[in-house]
Amino acid sequence: MPKRISISLPDPYYEKLEQWAELDDRTVAGLASYILQRAIDDAEREGRIVINKEPPSTESK
């Protein structure tokens, strides 16, 4: 199930994102989601992050 997050951007970045979204015929939120997903996929592919497919253990150490 998709999750929602809230972020803050400086005005100039929001304005650029808004223009980009309009050019791509997307919503700002839809474009932001796409950009974040691509960044995560790139980081995973480059080995900068490892995505654990299992939920974290709740056992205390």
Structural domain that includes position 35: 11-45
Residue 52 lies in a domain: no
Confidence of residue 51 (pLDDT cuts 50, 70, 90): confident
What does the pLDDT look like over 6-20, one tens digit per residue? 999 999 999 999 999
Q: pLDDT higher for 55 or 53?
A: 53
pTM of the predicted model over 0.85:
no
Does the pLDDT at position 61 exceed 80?
Answer: no
Number of domain units in the chain: 1
Contacts of 40 (CB under 8 A, 6+ apart): 49, 51
Q: What gap in Å lies between CA 23 and CA 17, rounded to an integer? A: 10
pLDDT at residue number 52:
77
Residue 29 lies in a domain: yes
Residue 5 lies in a domain: no
